[in-house]
Amino acid sequence: MKSTSQPHQLSHHDKKQGVFTNMAIVAEAKRANCWLYNKLNNNWYTPEEFHEKYANQKDSNINIRTVLENVSIRDPNSGIKAYHKALTDKLNRFENETRELRERGEAFTKKVIDYYQSKSKDKFR
């Protein structure tokens, strides 16, 4: 029986060295007045930064293809909106967790106080 956890065999072409030479994605981003977003590492690049980072970079064809498959041309304003949404979501989670912790702590504190108050009343009977 064949194990499903074995890594996929790379083809000879995938293993060969390739070079980022076609920077059509950079030209398209500039034309659209957009930036490039890499969803693998959540990094944003201006077209110039992307070109500087990857132009003529040598790597395996599979790695080059992986980068290109995971880079998209996006309006950087969408990144700003995503940042604000993520920040709001995180602050809401923090506020909820803080409220729950406060409620549990206050309930426990009340329980401790009530316990010892009832014990001290029993002492004086």
pLDDT of residue 44: 96
pLDDT of residue 68: 83
- pLDDT tens per residue across all 125 residues of the chain: 444 454 566 555 555 555 565 678 899 999 999 999 999 999 999 999 999 988 877 766 767 788 888 999 999 999 999 999 999 999 999 999 999 999 999 999 999 999 999 988 777 66
- DSSP code at position 124: T
Q: How far is the C-alpha of 52 from the C-alpha of 25, rounded, in Å?
A: 13
